[in-house]
Each structure stands twice: as structure tokens, then as C-alpha cells.
Amino acid sequence: KTDFINFISDQEWKSIEPVSSWFGPSSFLMSSVSALFQLSMWIRHCHGYLTENVGIPVWASYAVFALATLFSGLILGLVSAALEALVTT
């Protein structure tokens, strides 16, 4: 507590550089990190639902997510290739 009070009263805070706008809480980078964290929590919730409520084995739940990852990558790749073809023509 005393260190914090001394930090304020001695104005040591003026010597610290501010956080870069890239790492600010409202920056695109931090918003993206937050979205990825929320996605991981949603996937964890879905995994728990599939294994506990539906009753499928853990390995099958992993297989579902692996296939979903492969198919989403395939779709994104196809969309990217189609957009590139449209731009270059």
C-alpha cells in the first residue's frame, strides 16, 4: 500500500510510457483476442454438452471439432480463391 502511495505522491507514474494503441483494450488486436477467447469458451461448452448430455465419447467430440475445422478451412479457402479470381479478372 505504501509503495502505491509513494508511486502517486512522488509522481513516478509520469516516467512510465503509455500503452501502445495496439494493446489498448478497445483496439482491433485486443478485440480479436477477446473474440478468440469467447470462441474457445463456446467450443468448450459444446464439447461438454456433446459428452455429458448427448453421451458421445470424448474422441468422437474431438473428431466432430476436427472435421468442423477442416470444413471451415475448406470453405474459407474456396471463398478466398473465388474472391481472388474476381479481383484478378
pLDDT digits (tens, 9 = 90+) for 37-73: 999 999 999 999 999 999 999 999 999 999 999 999 9
Query: Can you give the C-alpha Rg of the chain in angstroms?
Result: 23
Band of residue 21 on the pLDDT scale cut at 50, 70, 90 = confident
pLDDT at 84: 93
> Which residue type does 50 have?
L
d(CA 22, CA 9): 29
Does 36 have pLDDT greater than 80? yes
pTM of the full structure: 0.62
Share of the chain above pLDDT 70, in %: 100
Closest by CA to 70, choosing from 24, 26, 62, 4, is: 62
